[in-house]
Structure 1
Amino acid sequence: MGPKRQPTLDEVAARAGVSRSAASRVINNARHVSQAKRDAVERAVAELGFVPNPTARALATQQVGAVVLALSHHDPAQFTDPFFAQIILGVNAELEKTDLELLLVLANTTQGQARLQRILKSRRADGVMLMALRGDDPLAALADRHDVPVVFGGRPLHAEPRWYVDADNRGGSRLATEHLIGLGRRHIAVITGHMDTDAGASRHRGYLDAMAVAGLSPSRVEHGDFTESSGAAAMTRLLAAYPEVDAVVAGSDAMAAGALRALKAHGRSVPGDIAVVGFDDLLTALHTDPQLTTVHQPIHGLGREMAKMLLSLIAGEEPHPLVLPTRLVRRASA
């Protein structure tokens, strides 16, 4: 009799019910593989008598054990914004299942972008998550210049990356506008966020969709930057230009809170005179007066799914882009 045939890696993966790349990572003692997959592969290895190749083990373990969450924004204070705080918590919740460390990088300046480029060029990170890209941000081309997995949090405005996690911004804004139309409001204004972001542009399109179906004029538009102060300023301009306004769709809870403050200052009642709907469903929505009707997007879930997608890429798998659903949360403001 000749020597016993060695089982292949494909046979181990099939026995364990995992991808070939996941089986390879477990066998070669690489990081960031779920415990369930690790257990399944180890059972298959024992049952089949598989012996790993030492060279393959050396290649598979060339991981540095860190991933980057990079924020491209002109205001460093955005890292303390409740939205980004929830994103970070979601990312961290998923990474806690692994040995990976999380590096936070502000890539809003030339120096910050150069620092991120150095991290990637020297392979000091196994993957990157990019947030808050605006316009033709050079970071959008990051995936094409480095052999490092890149996951986008929200789609860039002028690109369609292979891997991203986003919320249904357009559908959520359409829901908000349809809700106001259903309440009998006909002079509905919109306060947009940054129009050089996909979130800002998509939420405006959702408003336009609903207004078009209802045959209503979508001309009452003012622009903000997702902050409370910009919402207050935009609401003041709307009142001056369109005194007949009876409802407002704001592109974020922060801007909606600013709009409520401006309406109170001008003696308008909410929702009696003007109904207001926000977008995000942050804690802010519970602390406004009145409490804010808003569109809920799963912000914590966005962070978790970004990290999950990146871990899948690092493990050699091929995940699909993901758009998470949004829903309307009714409270007292509309």
Structure 2
Amino acid sequence: MVTIPSRRKRATIHDVAVEAGVSRGTVSRVVNNEPYVSASSRTAIEAAIEKVGYVPNNAARSLVMQRSEAVGFIVHEPHSLFLDDPNIGGILLGANTVLSRSDYQMVSLVIDSQRDTDRVARYLSGGFVDGVIIVSARQEDPITRVIEKLRLPAAFVGHPPEQSPLPFVGIDNRASARAITERLMQTGRQHIGMVAAALDRDSGADRLAGFTDALGDRFDPALVARVPLYTFTDGVQGMRALLERDPLIDGVFAASDAVAAGALEALRQAGRSVPGDVGIVGFDDSSWALRTQPHLSTVHQPAFGLGERAAECVLGQLRGEEQPADGILLETPIVWRDSA
């Protein structure tokens, strides 16, 4: 029979005060890093804290201060994509670096269903976070409405849907997509298509718009394969669709590096060489770009920097600082490699 040990009683400020021989008020000032405590008392209290194993009750402290000292990191993506997309990981790490420096905890919230939406809405309404960073928000997003209603300090990574007034940090997806498509056209390709993903998000819709801008009169809507997500599998399926529609296709813009990697696999299976028969370019400059053979020509998206700036934006709002009304856009240089 296994005996479950009883839970150890949590040490309190009273225990520290008794051990140190001072008042609870003096202990509280030391714990909260306040002045007006003598050096000898502070030394005695610190020794007592170590001896009795006292840990401040942050939940109780948050109730008094009406601050959780936590920021939510909300990702509107399927669970699998949250793990597989290196951009999300880069954004997350960038945000966490900034929040950590300010002693804020980051709380990851993944929305993959209506049940997730309802749960996260309740969580935000409960006051468990002081602000939020939102990644991959969709059109007609109920979470955005909740954030606006609660007046939570917030920052989108990417442009807010439906012209929301909330601050955002992002890139110019349309101009970047136009630039790399024009670079692809300069290689002499005549039948250029696109595997367009995530068209219910600003990033996906803007990348398709940039592709359309670049081609101008040469744009053929039949050479746009629309797929749901920025995934390898969607890239395979999208490329197969393009090959069926035009066997002479010789250039492809894939909406992300993961999609481009899938397209490369479909071309390999079809016996088409890259860049000999088909030139292909991606978007992100993620780890996918260097996993492929040949390495991908792509647009560099500064994922870590996006996370940093989004976190700085939220912390700025918590300090009462005004944020740029037209958002913050980071640079996205083209990285040209062997795939085109």
TM bracket, shorter-chain basis: 0.7 to 0.9
1:221 aligns with 2:224: yes
Aligned counterpart for 2:81 among listed residues 73, 78, 81: 78
Post-superposition offset of 1:156: 3.5
1:116 aligns with 2:116: no
Where in structure 2 are the equivalents of 1:117-196 lying within 5 Å? 117-196=121-200
1:327 aligns with 2:294: no
The one-character-per-residue Cα deviations of 1:261-305 (angstroms, maximum 9, x if unpaired) are: 011111111111100000010111011011111111101111111
Post-superposition offset of 1:118: 2.6
CA distance change for structure 1 residues 96 and 186 in 2, over 3 Å: closer, same or farther? same
Partner of 1:242 in structure 2? 246
Kept in 2: contact 1:155–1:161 (CA 8 A)? no
SS of equivalent to 1:133: coil
Kept in 1: contact 2:135–2:158 (CA 8 A)? yes
1:68 aligns with 2:79: no
Post-superposition offset of 1:238: 0.7
SS of equivalent to 1:189: strand
How many aligned positions are there?
277
Between the aligned partners of 1:311 and 1:157, the Cα distance in structure 2 is 22
Partner of 1:13 in structure 2? none
Partner of 1:15 in structure 2? none
Code of the residue aligned with 1:291 in structure 2: it is: H
Post-superposition offset of 1:78: 2.3
CA distance change for structure 1 residues 146 and 191 in 2, over 3 Å: closer, same or farther? same
Post-superposition offset of 1:189: 0.4
Aligned counterpart for 2:312 among listed residues 291, 297, 308: 308
SS of equivalent to 2:151: coil
Post-superposition offset of 1:148: 1.4
Between the aligned partners of 1:147 and 1:197, the Cα distance in structure 2 is 23
CA distance change for structure 1 residues 310 and 294 in 2, over 3 Å: closer, same or farther? same
Post-superposition offset of 1:218: 3.2
CA distance change for structure 1 residues 157 and 186 in 2, over 3 Å: closer, same or farther? farther
Code of the residue aligned with 2:80 in structure 1: it is: A
CA distance change for structure 1 residues 160 and 121 in 2, over 3 Å: closer, same or farther? closer
Post-superposition offset of 1:108: 2.8
Code of the residue aligned with 2:236 in structure 1: it is: A
Instruction: Please provide the CA RMSD for this pair.
Output: 2.1
Where in structure 2 are the equivalents of 1:85-104 lying within 5 Å? 85-104=89-108
Post-superposition offset of 1:68: 0.4
Between the aligned partners of 1:136 and 1:87, the Cα distance in structure 2 is 23
Post-superposition offset of 1:316: 0.5
SS of equivalent to 1:96: helix
The one-character-per-residue Cα deviations of 1:17-75 (angstroms, maximum 9, x if unpaired) are: xxxxxxxxxxx999xxxxxxxxxxxxxxxxxxxxxxxxxxx9994322111001122x1
The one-character-per-residue Cα deviations of 1:173-228 (angstroms, maximum 9, x if unpaired) are: 1111100111111211011011111100000000011111xx42333110122111
Between the aligned partners of 1:303 and 1:291, the Cα distance in structure 2 is 26
Partner of 1:34 in structure 2? none
Q: Is the deviation greater in 323-332 or in 138-147?
A: 138-147
Post-superposition offset of 1:87: 1.1
Between the aligned partners of 1:147 and 1:175, the Cα distance in structure 2 is 37
Structure 1 length normalisation: TM-score?
A: 0.79
Post-superposition offset of 1:307: 0.4
Between the aligned partners of 1:114 and 1:314, the Cα distance in structure 2 is 25
Post-superposition offset of 1:254: 0.5
Aligned counterpart for 1:286 among listed residues 278, 285, 290: 290
**Which structure's CA Rg is the greater one?**
2
Q: Is the deviation greater in 129-138 or in 189-198?
A: 129-138
SS of equivalent to 1:108: coil
Structure 2 length normalisation: TM-score?
A: 0.77
Percent of residue pairs bearing the same amino acid type: 38
Q: Is the deviation greater in 253-262 or in 120-129?
A: 120-129
SS of equivalent to 1:279: coil
Where does the alignment leave 5 or more consecutive residues of structure 1 unmatched?
1-27, 31-57
